[in-house]
Amino acid sequence: MIKKIILLLAISVSATAQIHINDGLWRGVLTLDTKKQLELPFIFNVYYADGEPSITIFNADEKIVIDEIEVKNDSIFFKMPVFDTEFRCKFFPGLMQGVWINHSKTEKNVIPFSAIFGQTDRFKARVITRVDFAGRWETTFGIGTPDSSKAIGVFTQNKQILKGTFLSETGDYRYLEGISDGKNLYLSSFDGAHAYLFLGVMNEKEELNGDFYSGLTGHEKFRAVLNKNFELRDPYSITKTVKGQPVDFSFVNTEGTKISLSDEKYKDKVVIVQIMGSWCPNCMDETSYLSSLYNQYQSKGVEIIALAYERTTDVEKAKSNVLRLKSKYGAQYEFLITGLSGTVNAQKSLPFLSSVSAFPTTIYLNKKHEVEKIYTGYSGPATGAAYTKMKESTENLLNELIK
């Protein structure tokens, strides 16, 4: 059925003049499960600059601007910035119907999509009374499974509107937005890679129980209780080094030149090694921060090397994906194409690490290229105070290493 949809979208069925997409707010929906009527909503705005359409997707305080848009007869095609994903839609007055395709996945990567012009509510409230979900929540994902994990939910609430995120030991869930409706919680986020939906309900014990859906394949039960004192492990304590293993690596950059940590460029320099992938939203947030950090510290003797573990064995495709990320944030530091993917391969290619459990993982080397600290995961701008704390600790560490 999905193949038929894609085929129809690729065929022009009319020779009419180029369509004009309604400018203003739209409500988009990704249908995760037709039988369960499971829908992931998000709001976007269409506007015109110099006669060309642009789209901005909203997730809480985040704005994602899309400018790679092709309008052809009665079809609309638009690519997400940074990530290798795109929408292919048919257009009708005030309506889009089509699919969202995630090219970084090889299966279950096509999700039905529709959008209606003029609808501005992400979720529709059904009752007037509402629970206040603002606060800090000790959260367990994957209840009763071997892969269960802890997280911290941090949320603010203004009347019925909820905003916030979950912090975990491998990264944060970025910008979530939704509503409180009676005892029910509804949250969603779509950033071009993450397609997240949270449905929860408060019980008599003031426990929040619910379901977390990620795209077509991810589903976990979660439980949360208010606990302002709960903390995760220190992100500097999770990833360890292997005693006696030298810190070194060699990979090609986006121009095909072999780059090594032992190159003259990095001699007697403080070096930050970013283990990342262009498909990773937390890596995107970290690249934005490291780009500004590099502009500030490069002249003081700090270099940054990103090691890209892409979800493709096609080197040229990997280079293209990485260059999109690099261009988006104006990153001036070196990005190396490892030709590998996954945390297991990342660890094997860096034998001085005992394990790699998260993308990103960030290694801070002193001027002798000895490991000073390793930060696992990332606390991005959606985490508020945690983001501020992370930036302060990073810059304090760099100042000490420069001395």
In sequence order, what are the beta bridge partners of 161?
158, 179
Q: Are 43 and 122 in contact (CB under 8 A)?
A: yes
391 in any annotated domain: yes
47 in any annotated domain: yes
Spell out the residues 6+ positions from residue 147 whose beta carbon is closer than 8 angstroms to its own: none
CATH of the domain at 373: 3.40.30.10
284 in any annotated domain: yes
Q: How far apart are the first and last CA of the chain?
A: 62
Closest CA relative to residue 225, chosen from 290, 297, 160, 153: 153
| 15 and 108 inside one domain | yes
| 386 and 256 inside one domain | yes
**Token duo for residue 91:** 């257009």
| 370 and 325 inside one domain | yes
| 254 and 155 inside one domain | no
**Cα(12)–Cα(19) distance, rounded to whole angstroms?**
13
**Token duo for residue 116:** 């209606």
CATH of the domain at 7: 2.40.128
CA atoms within 13 A on the CB side of 341: 12
155 in any annotated domain: yes
Task: Name the domain boundary from 85, 117, 149.
Answer: 117
| 266 and 365 inside one domain | yes
Give whole-number Cα distances, 379 to 24, 118, 165, 364, in Å.
Answer: 33, 34, 10, 17
184 in any annotated domain: yes
236 in any annotated domain: no
| 378 and 260 inside one domain | yes
Spell out the residues 6+ positions from residue 48 whose beta carbon is closer than 8 angstroms to its own: 23, 54
**Cα(226)–Cα(72) distance, rounded to whole angstroms?**
51
| 78 and 208 inside one domain | no
Sort 75 into a burial class: Cβ within 10 Å, 0-12 / 13-18 / 19+. buried
| 301 and 348 inside one domain | yes
Q: What phi and psi values does residue 285 have, to the nearest 5 degrees?
A: -65, -40
| 65 and 168 inside one domain | no
Show pLDDT as tens, one digit a residue, over the chain (403 residues). Answer: 444 444 444 433 333 446 789 999 999 999 999 899 999 999 999 999 888 999 999 999 999 999 999 999 999 999 999 999 999 999 999 999 999 999 999 899 999 999 999 999 999 999 888 999 999 999 999 998 999 999 999 999 999 999 999 999 999 999 999 999 999 999 999 999 999 999 999 999 999 999 999 999 999 999 999 999 999 999 999 999 999 999 999 999 999 999 999 999 999 999 999 999 999 999 999 999 999 999 999 999 999 999 999 999 899 999 999 999 999 999 999 999 999 999 999 999 999 999 999 999 999 999 999 999 999 999 999 999 999 999 999 999 999 999 9
| 322 and 366 inside one domain | yes
**Cα(198)–Cα(222) distance, rounded to whole angstroms?**
9
CATH of the domain at 155: 2.40.128.120
In sequence order, what are the beta bridge partners of 202?
208
Number of domains in the chain: 3
237 in any annotated domain: no
| 267 and 353 inside one domain | yes
Length of the chain: 403
352 in any annotated domain: yes
Task: Name the domain boundary from 226, 242, 267.
Answer: 226
Closest CA relative to residue 253, chosen from 304, 289, 300: 304
| 219 and 259 inside one domain | no
CA 198 to centroid of chain Cα atoms: 16
Domain that includes residue 189, residue range: 135-226
Q: Are 166 and 396 in contact (CB under 8 A)?
A: no
- Scan for tokens 């988006």, then name that residue: 328
Closest CA relative to residue 28, chosen from 68, 72, 74, 76: 76
